[in-house]
Chain A
Amino acid sequence: MGIENPDDVVVIQRVLGGDADAFRLLVQRYGARLRGFCLARLGDPDEADDAVQDVLLRAYRSLGTYRLGTSFASWLFAIAANRVRTRRGRTVAREALVRRAADEARTAATPDPSDQAVVRMEREEVRRAVAGLSWPLRVVVELYYFAGLSVAETGSALGLGHEAVKSRLLRARRELSRLAAEPAQPGPGGEGILP
């Protein structure tokens, strides 16, 4: 992904010119990754859907402040990172993870050959591991792996340098490999202040 998709600029200019319907293109372009990011953070699909709507609505209202020449994805996911952090994050994630861990155990006990079930289990496994990371590592992982941002875009969204992002990703990998091997249980999912 480039630092900025030129098509985004065209769409944004149309929206700012009064064509609200053009915003649907941005919803379609980023909505799924936003939902993946919010779901990873919040754990609950309904809560994630509300968060996606909240983030996109805020982005729409604030679109005039988006600075041409910067990455729209970074700008959008910076809003998302701030919003999900304030949305009952920790409590909901823990409650949802308990429920989802139980669902997963039931799914695992009943072999399902469908690809969809396998993919769903993969997602749950990785989300469970990510939920155990401290916030500074977790938010980088969620933006890079779940939102699909580049290292540069992740840094831009969080106000971090390139090397800081890479360093956190490396630390996160070590933690994740340990957490992924642990039996299913709710992780600490700790909030914290970015150092």
Chain B
Amino acid sequence: MMECEGAADLVARWKAGGQPTADQTRAFSRHLAGCPSCRAVHGGLQALLQRDAGERESVGDPGLPAALEDRIMDAIHRVPAPRRATRALPRIPLRAGLAAAAVLVVAIGVGAGLALRARAGAYLTVSFVLDTPEARSVAVVGDFTGWKTSGYELSRRATDGKWQIAVRLRRDRSYTYGFVVDGERWVPDPGAPETVEDGFGGVNSILRL
């Protein structure tokens, strides 16, 4: 059971940048519930500590009344529909001049070994390869990257100069993806058997495993 000293110590460590655990914040809350003096001093911090401990997503969430939701949607329907801005990542048209930018997606067994496959369970390692020698950087983006490029940058292969990255993906799912070249050009996979409109006038590629 946490005592007054323990509560003060937890707050002091939190002030210094420490992250409380869920068990600590629960003990803290129980102590505050039965200690008016500590509650007067630390009560305003309780929800903050719980947020830092991962016990709640946010502090002071009062919910969204249904009436307000309806009011907002009524207002939405009264204003003009949003227009697409010029896309930030211009598409590379698939024309002859870009034939060198052929994309190859290869799905292979994990590590090419049964032991690894067994250990990995339902996962496959997928190699994304892009042949675009003029590029300075290439990243693969998709629903499996959270649509971010960070951490998914391809490396240039020493053998043939092609860009490549291996990504571990779960089987029996479909994935939507594309490539970002030099941080600004969006390149779909011309070899992908399936595509889907991306809502910005272009397409994303579909990979089914």
A residues in contact (CB < 8 Å) with B: 1-6, 9, 12-18, 20-21, 23-24, 27-28, 31-36, 39-40, 45, 49, 52-53, 56-57, 60-65, 67-69, 121-123, 125-129, 144-148, 170, 173-174, 176-177, 179-181
Contact = CB atoms under 8 A, between A and B. Distances in A.
A61 B77 CA distance: 11
B135 interface: no
Contact of B69 (A27, A170, A176): A27
Given A13-B199, A17-B199, A148-B57, A64 B82 contact: yes
A123 B80 CA distance: 37
B79 A180 contact: no
A125 B81 contact: no
Interface residues of B, number: 53
Contacts of A144: 51
| B14, B47, B51, B80, most chain A CB atoms within 10 A | B47
A165 B62 CA distance: 25
B82 A15 contact: yes
B40 A173 contact: no
A62 B73 CA distance: 16
Interface stretch (B83-91, B157-165, B166-174): B83-91
Contacts of A28: 64, 69
Contacts, number: 172
A145 B59 contact: yes
Nearest to B67: A49
B136 interface: no
B201 to A, nearest CB: 10
A127 B79 contact: no
| B83, B84, B147, B198, most chain A CB atoms within 10 A | B147
Given A12-B199, A49-B68, A147-B58, A60 B44 contact: no
Given A13-B198, A53-B68, A53-B71, A69 B89 contact: yes
Nearest to B59: A145
A2 B40 CA distance: 36
A5 B148 CA distance: 10
A18 B62 CA distance: 31
Given A61-B79, A173-B17, 15 more contacts: A6-B146, A13-B198, A27-B73, A32-B62, A32-B64, A49-B65, A53-B75, A64-B83, A65-B85, A69-B148, A126-B46, A126-B59, A173-B48, A177-B11, A180-B45
A123 B58 contact: no
B72 interface: yes
Contact of A3 (B68, B72, B81, B146): B146
Q: Which 3 A-B pairs have the closest CB atoms?
A: A13-B199, A180-B44, A148-B58
B88 A36 contact: no
A32 B88 contact: no
B76 interface: yes
A43 B126 CA distance: 51
B42 interface: yes
B5 interface: no
28 contacts: A3-B146, A3-B148, A6-B143, A6-B147, A13-B197, A14-B199, A16-B82, A16-B199, A18-B81, A20-B76, A23-B73, A27-B69, A27-B72, A28-B64, A32-B63, A49-B68, A61-B82, A68-B88, A68-B200, A125-B46, A126-B48, A126-B60, A145-B48, A146-B58, A146-B61, A180-B42, A180-B44, A181-B42
Contacts of B77: 20
